Amino acid sequence: MAKLKVAVLMGGRSGEHEVSLVSGGAVMANLDRRKYSATPVTIPKSGRADWAALARYDVVFPVLHGPYGEDGTVQGMLELLGIPYVGAGVLGSAVAMDKDVMKRLFLHAGLPTADYVCLRRGERPSPAALARRLGYPMFAKPANLGSSVGISKVHNRGELAAALALAFQHDDKIVLERGLDARELECAVLGNQAAEASVVGEVVPGREFYDYQAKYSDAGSQTLVPASLPAAVARQVRALALRAFQVLECCGMARVDFFLERGTGRIYLNEINTIPGFTPISMYPMLWAASGVPFPALLARLIALARERGQSRAQIAI
């Protein structure tokens, strides 16, 4: 049987370029070479590449984090080329990338989401009004970025202006979120229409919050897989992860992040990542390994899901 030709896309026009390279390298290292003929395709920071050359592959595996890779742009191009690809389609990718739109859809579906405010470039919010609405601490984030790039924890009014300026360096739209005293939980989802949820993991930051340095540089951060939780709480997190996956029209894969508020025990959806990290310390493959699906088998299932979705879409009349 001929090997499937797989292109692993990495790098890209994003602030998460370097993280993507590490993820792509891990995917390349764990693909079963008996089944797949895999080629790394590195997209430069300019974003300029011979995209049409991807048509020679059977499946594309995007490991492009952030804008111009995880937001539906590359997915739309692959749809035009008619190439099956791993992960969410154009719609799911786009709405999951935009933290404001994502939260609106969660709220519309009745899913528990912490209070937030959306700001666009040029808007001048009243610090007093923000404090009344969200309280301190609050978090300032670019609406369309991941890996905690451009995020600040705002403890008081004196820190607000700098936090807004930093977030607006990375996007024209930002979100301010109510800060919660909470544990940070993560759950991985795998599948198309009949998706499954992994065991639940917990992130224990080595810094005040799980920023970029805590994720990728700080040896003090810990990941606990599985998390120490009552069975009922773990079931609720897994059920919410699957529901969020469906609400955002995701498919293939996603990592769903939660807050478990201390004191109240309330669970809040934080966000979905439709192209989660695949680095050696990333939670998505760790959660599935703990659920009985080792890294090579996980990649094989993702490729099979991509082909399944591609075959289904090929049957749609145009």
The reply to whether 208 belongs to the active site is no
Check residue 278 and give left, alpha or beta (phi > 0: left; psi -120 to 50: alpha): alpha
The reply to whether 273 belongs to the active site is yes
Instruction: Name the token pair of 254.
Output: 């996603």
Catalytic residue among 255, 270, 309, 310: 255
Cα dist. 127→159, 160, 222 in Å? 11, 8, 35
The reply to whether 98 belongs to the active site is no
Instruction: Name the token pair of 83.
Output: 């190439």
The reply to whether 216 belongs to the active site is yes
Check residue 196 and give left, alpha or beta (phi > 0: left; psi -120 to 50: alpha): beta
Mapped to the 3 state alphabet, what secondary structure does 138-202 carry?
A: EEEEECCCCCCCCCEEECCHHHHHHHHHHHHCCCCEEEEEECCCEEEEEEEEEECCCCEEEEEEE
Catalytic residue among 198, 238, 271, 301: 271
Catalytic residue among 14, 184, 257, 282: 257
Q: What is the DSSP string of 230-261?
A: -HHHHHHHHHHHHHHHHHTT--EEEEEEEEEE
Q: How are strands ordered across the β-sheet holding 252-261?
A: 222-224, 196-204, 182-191, 252-261, 267-273
The reply to whether 147 belongs to the active site is yes
Beta bridge partners of 7: 39, 60
The reply to whether 93 belongs to the active site is no
Catalytic residue among 37, 47, 68, 216: 216
Catalytic residue among 147, 152, 198, 282: 147
Catalytic residue among 11, 273, 284, 309: 273
* Helix, strand or coil, per DSSP, at residue 221: coil
Cα dist. 264→17, 208, 267 in Å? 38, 21, 9
197 neighbors 226 (Cβ within 8 angstroms): no
Establish how many alpha carbons lie within 13 A of residue 284's alpha carbon, considering only the half-sphere containing its beta carbon.
23
The reply to whether 136 belongs to the active site is no
The reply to whether 257 belongs to the active site is yes
Instruction: Name the token pair of 173.
Output: 């739209």
Catalytic residue among 66, 191, 201, 277: 277
Q: Which residues are catalytic?
A: 16, 147, 216, 255, 257, 271, 273, 277
